Protein backbone atom coordinates (compact mmCIF):
# COMPACT_ATOMS: atom_id res chain seq x y z
CA UNK A 1 0.00 0.00 0.00
CA UNK A 2 1.48 3.32 -1.04
CA UNK A 3 0.68 6.61 0.65
CA UNK A 4 0.80 9.91 -1.23
CA UNK A 5 3.79 11.97 -0.13
CA UNK A 6 1.80 15.10 0.93
CA UNK A 7 -0.47 12.99 3.16
CA UNK A 8 2.52 11.29 4.76
CA UNK A 9 4.23 14.65 5.42
CA UNK A 10 1.00 16.00 6.96
CA UNK A 11 0.65 13.00 9.29
CA UNK A 12 4.29 13.22 10.40
CA UNK A 13 4.02 16.97 10.99
CA UNK A 14 0.83 16.56 13.04
CA UNK A 15 2.48 13.84 15.12
CA UNK A 16 5.53 15.97 15.85
CA UNK A 17 3.35 18.95 16.83
CA UNK A 18 1.24 16.77 19.12
CA UNK A 19 4.29 15.27 20.81
CA UNK A 20 5.84 18.72 21.25
CA UNK A 21 2.63 19.95 22.91
CA UNK A 22 2.54 17.06 25.36
CA UNK A 23 3.80 18.15 28.79
CA UNK A 24 6.48 16.06 30.49
CA UNK A 25 5.35 13.78 33.33
CA UNK A 26 5.31 15.40 36.75
CA UNK A 27 7.49 14.11 39.56
CA UNK A 28 5.97 12.97 42.82
CA UNK A 29 5.10 15.88 45.13
CA UNK A 30 7.50 14.75 47.88
CA UNK A 31 10.38 13.96 45.49
CA UNK A 32 13.31 16.38 45.31
CA UNK A 33 13.37 18.63 42.25
CA UNK A 34 15.14 17.25 39.21
CA UNK A 35 14.83 13.61 40.33
CA UNK A 36 13.38 10.89 38.13
CA UNK A 37 10.15 9.09 38.95
CA UNK A 38 10.58 6.66 41.82
CA UNK A 39 10.23 2.94 41.19
CA UNK A 40 7.52 1.26 43.26
CA UNK A 41 8.49 -1.91 45.12
CA UNK A 42 5.38 -4.07 44.84
CA UNK A 43 6.64 -6.60 47.38
CA UNK A 44 6.57 -3.94 50.10
CA UNK A 45 2.99 -2.97 49.22
CA UNK A 46 1.63 -6.51 49.52
CA UNK A 47 0.76 -7.67 53.00
CA UNK A 48 3.11 -10.43 54.13
CA UNK A 49 0.22 -12.27 55.74
CA UNK A 50 -0.97 -13.61 52.36
CA UNK A 51 2.30 -15.39 51.62
CA UNK A 52 2.98 -18.92 52.92
CA UNK A 53 5.12 -19.05 56.05
CA UNK A 54 6.89 -22.33 55.23
CA UNK A 55 9.19 -23.32 52.35
CA UNK A 56 7.36 -25.07 49.51
CA UNK A 57 8.70 -27.52 46.92
CA UNK A 58 6.92 -28.83 43.80
CA UNK A 59 8.26 -30.92 40.92
CA UNK A 60 6.55 -31.17 37.53
CA UNK A 61 7.70 -33.66 34.87
CA UNK A 62 6.91 -32.44 31.34
CA UNK A 63 7.42 -33.37 27.69
CA UNK A 64 8.36 -30.72 25.14
CA UNK A 65 7.80 -30.44 21.38
CA UNK A 66 10.16 -29.28 18.62
CA UNK A 67 9.51 -25.61 19.48
CA UNK A 68 10.46 -26.06 23.12
CA UNK A 69 6.86 -25.70 24.32
CA UNK A 70 5.57 -27.94 27.06
CA UNK A 71 3.30 -30.38 25.22
CA UNK A 72 2.22 -32.54 28.13
CA UNK A 73 2.57 -32.80 31.88
CA UNK A 74 3.49 -36.37 32.79
CA UNK A 75 3.38 -36.07 36.57
CA UNK A 76 3.47 -33.66 39.46
CA UNK A 77 4.96 -34.09 42.92
CA UNK A 78 2.84 -31.65 44.94
CA UNK A 79 3.64 -29.68 48.06
CA UNK A 80 1.07 -29.44 50.86
CA UNK A 81 -0.25 -26.08 49.50
CA UNK A 82 -2.87 -26.64 46.79
CA UNK A 83 -2.85 -23.01 45.61
CA UNK A 84 0.92 -23.04 45.15
CA UNK A 85 0.70 -26.35 43.26
CA UNK A 86 -2.00 -24.97 40.95
CA UNK A 87 0.06 -21.87 40.12
CA UNK A 88 3.19 -23.91 39.47
CA UNK A 89 1.22 -26.34 37.27
CA UNK A 90 -0.05 -23.37 35.24
CA UNK A 91 3.47 -21.97 34.99
CA UNK A 92 4.78 -25.35 33.80
CA UNK A 93 2.10 -25.56 31.10
CA UNK A 94 3.22 -22.21 29.66
CA UNK A 95 6.96 -22.89 29.81
CA UNK A 96 9.38 -22.93 26.89
CA UNK A 97 12.53 -24.97 27.48
CA UNK A 98 15.55 -24.24 25.33
CA UNK A 99 19.33 -24.20 25.63
CA UNK A 100 21.07 -20.83 26.17
CA UNK A 101 21.82 -20.61 22.44
CA UNK A 102 18.13 -21.10 21.57
CA UNK A 103 18.19 -24.73 20.44
CA UNK A 104 15.68 -27.34 21.56
CA UNK A 105 16.63 -30.73 22.99
CA UNK A 106 13.54 -32.94 22.69
CA UNK A 107 12.79 -35.00 25.73
CA UNK A 108 11.35 -35.19 29.19
CA UNK A 109 12.26 -32.51 31.73
CA UNK A 110 11.80 -31.96 35.46
CA UNK A 111 10.75 -28.44 36.48
CA UNK A 112 11.47 -27.86 40.17
CA UNK A 113 9.82 -24.95 41.98
CA UNK A 114 11.14 -23.88 45.40
CA UNK A 115 9.50 -21.09 47.44
CA UNK A 116 11.56 -19.27 50.08
CA UNK A 117 9.37 -17.55 52.73
CA UNK A 118 12.23 -15.25 53.82
CA UNK A 119 12.79 -13.67 50.41
CA UNK A 120 9.22 -14.33 49.09
CA UNK A 121 10.75 -15.60 45.85
CA UNK A 122 10.21 -18.75 43.81
CA UNK A 123 13.16 -20.45 42.15
CA UNK A 124 12.58 -22.63 39.09
CA UNK A 125 15.17 -25.17 37.99
CA UNK A 126 15.05 -27.23 34.80
CA UNK A 127 16.71 -30.63 34.43
CA UNK A 128 16.70 -33.01 31.46
CA UNK A 129 15.51 -36.45 32.58
CA UNK A 130 15.63 -38.25 29.24
CA UNK A 131 16.40 -37.01 25.73
CA UNK A 132 14.02 -38.20 23.01
CA UNK A 133 10.98 -40.42 23.32
CA UNK A 134 8.45 -37.60 22.79
CA UNK A 135 6.29 -36.46 19.88
CA UNK A 136 8.17 -33.56 18.24
CA UNK A 137 5.05 -32.45 16.33
CA UNK A 138 2.75 -32.30 19.36
CA UNK A 139 0.99 -29.00 19.91
CA UNK A 140 1.85 -27.04 23.02
CA UNK A 141 -0.35 -27.53 26.08
CA UNK A 142 -1.05 -23.80 26.36
CA UNK A 143 -1.98 -23.68 22.65
CA UNK A 144 -4.39 -26.59 23.14
CA UNK A 145 -6.01 -24.85 26.10
CA UNK A 146 -6.45 -21.61 24.13
CA UNK A 147 -8.06 -23.55 21.27
CA UNK A 148 -10.50 -25.23 23.67
CA UNK A 149 -11.37 -21.86 25.20
CA UNK A 150 -11.91 -20.37 21.72
CA UNK A 151 -14.22 -23.24 20.74
CA UNK A 152 -16.18 -22.99 23.98
CA UNK A 153 -16.55 -19.25 23.50
CA UNK A 154 -18.19 -19.79 20.12
CA UNK A 155 -20.86 -22.09 21.48
CA UNK A 156 -24.37 -20.90 20.80
CA UNK A 157 -26.27 -19.18 23.58
CA UNK A 158 -29.10 -21.22 25.09
CA UNK A 159 -32.26 -21.02 23.01
CA UNK A 160 -35.33 -19.66 24.73
CA UNK A 161 -36.96 -16.42 25.76
CA UNK A 162 -34.75 -14.11 27.75
CA UNK A 163 -36.64 -12.27 30.47
CA UNK A 164 -35.09 -9.00 31.53
CA UNK A 165 -34.56 -8.37 35.21
CA UNK A 166 -37.24 -6.14 36.74
CA UNK A 167 -36.23 -2.54 37.32
CA UNK A 168 -36.07 -1.42 40.95
CA UNK A 169 -38.80 0.89 42.17
CA UNK A 170 -37.81 4.57 42.10
CA UNK A 171 -36.83 5.97 45.48
CA UNK A 172 -38.37 9.37 44.64
CA UNK A 173 -41.90 10.09 43.46
CA UNK A 174 -41.27 11.34 39.93
CA UNK A 175 -44.66 13.09 39.72
CA UNK A 176 -43.79 15.38 42.65
CA UNK A 177 -40.37 16.50 41.37
CA UNK A 178 -40.09 20.10 40.09
CA UNK A 179 -39.48 20.85 36.44
CA UNK A 180 -35.92 21.56 35.32
CA UNK A 181 -36.66 25.19 34.21
CA UNK A 182 -38.17 25.89 37.61
CA UNK A 183 -35.08 24.51 39.40
CA UNK A 184 -32.74 26.56 37.19
CA UNK A 185 -34.59 29.83 38.00
CA UNK A 186 -34.82 29.31 41.74
CA UNK A 187 -32.35 31.55 43.66
CA UNK A 188 -29.87 29.78 45.90
Q: Is residue 10 part of a domain?
A: no
Which of these ranges, 14-18, 52-56, 125-129, 154-158, has the smallest mean pLDDT?
14-18
Closest listed residue to residue 139, CA positions, set 75, 88, 64, 60: 64
Looking at residue 1, its pLDDT comes to 47
Task: Render pLDDT for 50-95 as a digit per residue (tens, 0 to 9).
Answer: 788 899 999 999 999 999 999 999 999 999 899 999 999 999 999 9
Q: Is residue 177 part of a domain?
A: no
**Which one is predicted more confidently, 59 or 166?**
59
Q: Residue 142 sits in which domain range?
A: 48-152
Helices (H), the chain: 5-21, 42-45, 82-93, 141-153, 180-185
**Which one is predicted more confidently, 166 or 75?**
75
Q: Is residue 80 part of a domain?
A: yes
Looking at residue 94, its pLDDT comes to 93
29/34 Cα distance (integer angstroms): 12
Structurally, how many domains does the chain consist of?
1
Which residues have a Cβ under 8 Å from the Cβ of 69 and sit 6 or more positions away? 95, 96, 139, 140, 141, 142, 143
Q: Is residue 36 part of a domain?
A: no
* Residue 98 DSSP label: -
Q: Is residue 142 part of a domain?
A: yes
Identity of the highest mean pLDDT range in 18-27, 113-122, 164-173:
113-122
Looking at residue 69, its pLDDT comes to 94
Does the structure show a pLDDT above 80 at 129? yes
Q: Is residue 130 part of a domain?
A: yes
**Which one is predicted more confidently, 132 or 5?**
132
Q: Is residue 144 part of a domain?
A: yes
Does the structure show a pLDDT above 70 at 11? no
Looking at residue 163, its pLDDT comes to 72
Task: Render pLDDT for 13-64 as a digit per residue (tens, 0 to 9).
Answer: 555 554 555 555 565 566 556 556 778 877 777 776 778 889 999 999 999 9
Q: How confident is the model at residue 154 (pLDDT cuts 50, 70, 90)?
A: confident
Q: Is residue 168 part of a domain?
A: no
* Reported pTM: 0.58
79-100: b (≥16 Cβ within 10 Å) or e: beeeebbeebbebbbebebeee
Amino acid sequence: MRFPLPALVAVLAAGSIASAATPPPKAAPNAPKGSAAQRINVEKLQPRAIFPKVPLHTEVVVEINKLGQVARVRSIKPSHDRGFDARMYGNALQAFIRTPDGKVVLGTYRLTYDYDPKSLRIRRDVALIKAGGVNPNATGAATDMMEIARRNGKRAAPVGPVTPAPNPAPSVNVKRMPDLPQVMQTPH
